[in-house]
Amino acid sequence: MKESDIILTQLRELCASQQLAVLATEDRGHPYTSMVAFAVTDDQRRLFFATNRDTRKFANMQSNLHVSLLIDNRTNSARDFTHAIAATLLGECRELSGTEKEDALLLYLNKHPGLEGFVTSARCAFMEVTVYSCYLVNQFQQVTECHFLDSRRKPLRE
């Protein structure tokens, strides 16, 4: 099995087991982080989350589409040093609408049915992140990476 296949398998398992991610945006040259409920496609290339349009994170994404997300399974115990897994996903975001939004909402609401009222409100923006790179850390310091090629651009790092 190729290293990229192993990363994708671990990432798939991690994303399936977690409800929340930490979203990092940029605010006038400074990092800004927020918790978001997320869902991801089977190929791990597209991630979805919802946010109110009146938030700093939404304003930040309007001025800079590049985002990073951290998904991890830590338990806040000493065991995390040897057993926790963390994935950093780098990508570009955009707000979805129309049939694209409807299809993605089905996936999202399957994972987060309690958020239906929020994601269908007029003030809510439903976002898609196209993932270009994944950095997976396990055993506290073992880092593996995977870069996805896209017809529109090259990976962020070779």
pLDDT tens for each residue of 17-61: 999 999 999 999 999 999 999 999 988 899 999 999 999 999 999
Could you tell me if 14 and 71 are in contact, meaning their C-beta atoms sit under 8 angstroms apart? yes
Per the CB < 8 A criterion, the answer to whether 134 and 44 are in contact is yes
Residue type, 97: S
Domain residue ranges in the chain: 3-147
Burial class (CB in 10 A: 0-12, 13-18, 19+), 32: middle
Fold of 3-147: Pnp Oxidase; Chain A (2.30.110)
With 0.75 as the threshold, say if the pTM is over it. Answer: yes
pLDDT grade for 149, boundaries at 50, 70 and 90: low
CB atoms within 10 A of CB 62: 13
Place of tokens 């196209």: 130
What 8-state DSSP symbol labels residue 76? S
DSSP labels, 111-156: H-GGGHHHHTSTTEEEEEEEEEEEEEEETTTEEEEEE--BTTB--S
Residue 157: its pLDDT value, please? 42
pLDDT at position 143 over 80: no
Quick: pLDDT tens for 57-66.
999 999 999 9
**pLDDT (0 to 100) of residue 151:** 43
